[in-house]
Structures are given as C-alpha cells and as structure tokens.
Amino acid sequence: MRAACCVLRAAAFLALTAALAPLPTGPLAAQDRTIPLAADGYVRILGSAGSIHVIAWDLDSVRWGGRLAPGQELFGGGSPRMVKVGTTGADGPAELSIRVPRRAKVVIDAGEASVDVSGVTGPVEIGGQSGAIKLVGAPVRLTIETVDGAVTLSGGPFRSSVVRTAGGMITADGLEEEVVLSTVTGAIFADLTRATRGSISSVSGVIRLGASVDPTGNLAIESHGGDILLRLAAPPGVEVVATALGGNIENTLSRVVPRPVRGGRGQILETTVGGNGGTVTVTSFKGRVRIEPK
C-alpha cells in the first residue's frame, strides 16, 4: 500500500511539472508524414508566408514536414491519386519541405511565401505574391504567375513555359519550343535555345534576350518603354522585322541599315539572314533596339 502511494505521488508530481513547464516561444517542429501517391498523381500545396521547398524523388509517395510559427498546424492527406498539403491557424512564416514523385503534377498556391522547386518533370503551376520563385529541372509544362516575386528558371529543357509577373524580374535559360514571358515593370533576361512559338514582352522593363528560332517558328518581342537587346542565332535562316517608334535601331546581325519610319519619327529594320527560316518581330515604342549575332 505504501509503495502504491509513493507511485501515485510521483505521477502527480510529474504531471504538475509538465503542466507548469513554459510553452516554447520559438518555431515549432512539425511532424513528418508520408502517404502513397501514384507516380503521375496530383499534389496541391497551400502556403501563406515563409518558404516552400519541393524536391522530386523516385518514390511513389509524398512526404511533408517543416517548421511552423506558434499557433499554426500542418495539414495533409488525400488519396493515391491526389494529395493536398498546407498550413492553417495563426499567421506567421512557415518553412515547408515536400518530397513528391518526379512525374507528379504539382500546383502551388504560395501566397507571400518564396518557392523553390527541384527535379520535377511533370506539369508545374505556381501562383504567388511577393516571394521569389526558383525552379531547377525540366517540367513538361510550366506556368508561373506572380505579382512582385522574381522568377528564376535554370536547367531545362523547358519546352512549354508561361511566366507572367507584374513587377518581378524574370531570369531564365534552357527555354525551348513554346515560350511566353511577360512583365509590367520587371526586366527579362532569358535565353531561348530553339523557339517554335514565343512571346516576350515588358511594359517598362528592359529585355535582354538570346534566341535561336526554329525554321518554321515565330518569335515576337515587345517593350513599351524599355530597351531591347536581341542576340540572335541566324543559321539556318531568319527574317527580322524590327520597329523602334520612339528610339533608334542598331543592327550588327546583317549589313542592312535601318530606315526612318514613314510619316513619323523612329526607325524600322527589315532583314533576312541565311535561307528560309523563322520570323522574328521586334517592337519598341519608346526604347532603343539593338540586334546582334548570338
């Protein structure tokens, strides 16, 4: 009996000690969880602030975890075809880490969080506000829309890419085939290794573009107020029509000299290099245009 009383007193003391222990004031560690997902399944990730890291692996499952702000909870679940992961609860930055099957379709609603995606070869869709977005790999289809976040693409080949920002800078290489890059006030620095259909546009930001156009391809480049620098690979052939309505054109791609725009200020350049090839249209309403060999 006496021994039993001692055990009960010890248990009560430990319970009281745990109850009076101070709550953690720093970020809380979130428990990892793994569930099965088909190799070509669908993963949706919901963020609000902080960072989201997505890494592809060669397992048919999704694993997620991270560090949360006080008052937040990590949720996730789904089926072998679809999984949803995100945070709920109090506002604050969260650091999420998610591993997904390499060929999965990944859709990320990032909010204010930064996004880092690596190794995914399935379709990728990312929407965000001000967080930077970085993607390394070769997704079969890529769509990114952000307000002020900078976008960086590397690796590739990116064969179907749409990137739109309002104020974010776009930096990309390894672009091929179908490409749309659009920004309002941000700059664009990109390299298109082989474009079949492309549209590159900025309202006030500069455009620095290296490009090679498929023999049957079309590439349109337009800036309202920013300068345009185009480094163009001519072989096997390319036709270029460039117009600078409020500026001038410098051409070192060929010997053709730009001429004044009829009935107004500005210049126009029409030149063909090589045999039959793709078509490139360059338009600047206020900025300067420079075209040179790549």
Task: Identify whether 134 is part of a domain.
Answer: no
pLDDT of res. 203:
94
Task: Identify whether 240 is part of a domain.
Answer: yes
Task: Identify whether 125 is part of a domain.
Answer: no
Q: What angle do CA 223, 229, 234 make, to 5 degrees?
A: 115
Decide if pLDDT at 91 tops 90: no
> DSSP strand E in 111-227: where?
114-118, 124-128, 133-137, 142-146, 151-155, 158-165, 170-183, 188-202, 207-223
Mean pLDDT of 65-93: 90
Instruction: Examine the domain organization and report whether 173 and 63 are in the same domain.
Output: no
Instruction: Examine the domain organization and report whether 69 and 191 are in the same domain.
Output: no
The pLDDT tens digits for 10-40 are 444 333 333 333 333 333 344 578 999 999 9
Q: Which residues pair with 160 in a beta bridge?
A: 178
Instruction: Examine the domain organization and report whether 46 and 110 are in the same domain.
Output: yes
With cut-offs at 50, 70 and 90, classify the pLDDT of residue 1: very low
- Two tokens, residue 150: 């900078």
Instruction: Examine the domain organization and report whether 115 and 154 are in the same domain.
Output: no
The DSSP symbol for 20 reads H
The pLDDT tens digits for 190-226 are 999 989 999 999 999 999 999 999 989 999 999 998 9
The last residue of a domain, from among 120, 135, 166: 120
DSSP string, 212-280: EEEEEEEEEEEESSS-EEEEEE-TTEEEEEEEESSS-EEE-SSSPPPEEPTTSSSEEEEEEEESS-EEE
Share of the chain above pLDDT 70, in %: 89
The larger pLDDT score, comparing residue 129 to residue 1, is at 129
The DSSP symbol for 49 reads S
Instruction: Examine the domain organization and report whether 104 and 217 are in the same domain.
Output: no
Mean pLDDT of 54-72: 93
Instruction: Examine the domain organization and report whether 85 and 193 are in the same domain.
Output: no
pLDDT of res. 291:
96
Task: Identify whether 71 is part of a domain.
Answer: yes
Decide if pLDDT at 143 tops 90: yes
The last residue of a domain, from among 103, 120, 137: 120
The last residue of a domain, from among 120, 140, 173: 120
With cut-offs at 50, 70 and 90, classify the pLDDT of residue 155: very high
Instruction: Examine the domain organization and report whether 112 and 168 are in the same domain.
Output: no
Taking the C-alpha atoms of residue 116 and residue 123, their distance in angstroms, rounded to an integer, is 15
Task: Identify whether 258 is part of a domain.
Answer: yes
Domain limits for position 52: 29-120
Instruction: Examine the domain organization and report whether 90 and 225 are in the same domain.
Output: no
Instruction: Examine the domain organization and report whether 193 and 290 are in the same domain.
Output: yes
Instruction: Examine the domain organization and report whether 102 and 154 are in the same domain.
Output: no
Task: Identify whether 140 is part of a domain.
Answer: no
* Domain count along the chain: 2
Instruction: Examine the domain organization and report whether 113 and 180 are in the same domain.
Output: no
Mean pLDDT of 223-243: 91
Kindly provide the b/e burial profile for residues 251-265, where b requires at least 16 CB atoms within 10 angstroms of the residue's own CB.
bebbeeebeeeeeee
Task: Identify whether 8 is part of a domain.
Answer: no
Instruction: Examine the domain organization and report whether 189 and 94 are in the same domain.
Output: no
Task: Identify whether 220 is part of a domain.
Answer: yes
